[in-house]
Amino acid sequence: MGASILRLPAIRKITGLSRSAIYDLISQGKFPKQIKLTSRSSGWIESEVNQWLDDRIAERDAKVA
């Protein structure tokens, strides 16, 4: 499959969101869910996060047009 996994610090840097905002969006079904890597660590699939960002950009552009 070859999916890249991002950890929370990278997600925070990419999105500009706080930890609590990310988890709030996940609980609302508005942000990709993390995957369990081990019993004590999780990560996000990079392509899903990139798609989420692309969707935010498309929403912004649709409102401008």
Q: Where are the domains of the chain?
A: 5-64
Which tens digit of pLDDT belongs to each residue from 11-44?
Answer: 999 999 999 999 999 999 999 999 999 999 999 9
Q: Is 38 exposed, middle or buried (0-12, 13-18, 19+ CB in 10 A)?
A: exposed
Work out the number of other CB atoms within 10 angstroms of the CB of residue 33: 11
Residues 6+ apart with CB under 8 A from 15: 22, 49, 53
Q: What global pTM score does this model have?
A: 0.88
